């Protein structure tokens, strides 16, 4: 084995070892969700709030985004056709 191939193999092993250490530090999704205090986790979309004006399927409000207008506007999206509306609350 040439010196270059040996060095590449050694670096690949070091990288794999580092990756394994990082992955062992991170919690699993279930552990992470169990640690999250109630009330602080904001879901991206709300439960259905109103009907879409086009197809009459439910629309959900996006909870993690508020437009900086007065009054503030919230993004609503239809669960069926994808239509987006901006409404106050």
Interval 50-74: pLDDT, tens = 888 888 888 889 888 888 999 999 9
Position with higher pLDDT, 35 vs 16: 16
Domain ranges of the chain: 3-35, 45-87
The beta-carbon contacts of 72-79 under 8 Å, at least 24 apart in sequence, are 76/49, 76/50, 77/45, 78/52, 78/54, 79/48
Position with higher pLDDT, 89 vs 11: 11
- The pTM of the full predicted model, rounded to 2 decimals, is 0.51
């Amino acid at each position: 084995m040439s010196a270059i191939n040996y060095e590449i193999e050694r670096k690949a092993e070091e990288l794999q070892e580092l990756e394994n250490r990082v992955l062992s530090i991170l919690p699993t999704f279930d552990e992470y969700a169990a640690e999250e205090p109630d009330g602080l986790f904001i879901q991206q979309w709300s439960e259905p709030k109103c009907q879409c004006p086009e197809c009459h399927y439910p629309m959900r409000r996006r909870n993690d985004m508020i437009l900086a207008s007065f009054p503030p506007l919230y993004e609503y999206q239809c669960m069926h056709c994808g239509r987006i509306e901006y409404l106050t609350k």
